[in-house]
Structure 1
Amino acid sequence: MSAQHPAAAVVVEAGGEPWSRVEPLLDRRSQEMADHGVLEVVTANPGVRTAISGWCTRKGRVVEATADRNGSTSFRIRIGSPSLPEVP
């Protein structure tokens, strides 16, 4: 991965699961991340693709990037603020 898009801390491979099953998983995984990092969701379900934007808005999350691959869509979601560089 490039510096612009470092590897996601958590990847959720949702397959064709419906939003009703994906949403609670995203809620739990994003809470476990303590409001920092990137969560990636990969889905083949059109309903999930549509719902992710609204979920991000409600939860204060940001979709950084999307990519289509092999019939699925990958969403990179920022959980909290981007990390600031450490001060020596």
Structure 2
Amino acid sequence: MPARHPAAAVVVEAGGEPWFRVEPLLDRRTQEMADHGVLEVVTANPGVRTAVPGWCTRKGVVLEATTDRNGSTSFRIRIGSLSLPEVP
């Protein structure tokens, strides 16, 4: 049985867009997420499929899961800490 994960806070449906268009969008979205949360990227472009893991490494984010389905690949990316913020 596959692991169940909570829904991603942000989903980027990249379709067949090339990496040079997807990368700045991912950069912007991760900045907007204030260093925490889960981002999901869905792509049908082979270039984006190969670029996302390296982008995760460069950005210091965690690629939690990769799922192929119906000709697309979904990447589940953890932005920032896995822990919950402290409550004062």
TM-score by length of 1: 0.90
State the alpha-carbon separation in 2 of the partners of residues 4 and 60 from structure 1. Answer: 24
Q: Which runs of 5+ in 1 are unaligned?
A: none
State the alpha-carbon separation in 2 of the partners of residues 77 and 52 from structure 1. Answer: 10
* Greater percentage in strand: 2
TM-score by length of 2: 0.90
Alignment of 1:4-83 (within 5 A): 4-83=4-83
Give the letter aligned to residue 47 of structure 2. Answer: G
**3-state SS of 1:66 partner:** strand
Q: Which runs of 5+ in 2 are unaligned?
A: none
Matched-pair identity in %: 89
Q: How many residues align?
A: 86
**3-state SS of 1:11 partner:** strand
What residue is the counterpart of 1:84 in the other structure?
84
How many angstroms does 1:83 deviate by?
2.8
Query: Would you say the 8 A contact 1:36–1:83 is kept in 2?
Result: no
Give a deviation string over 1:34-73, Cα, whole Å, max 9, x none.
0000000000001001000110011001100011111000
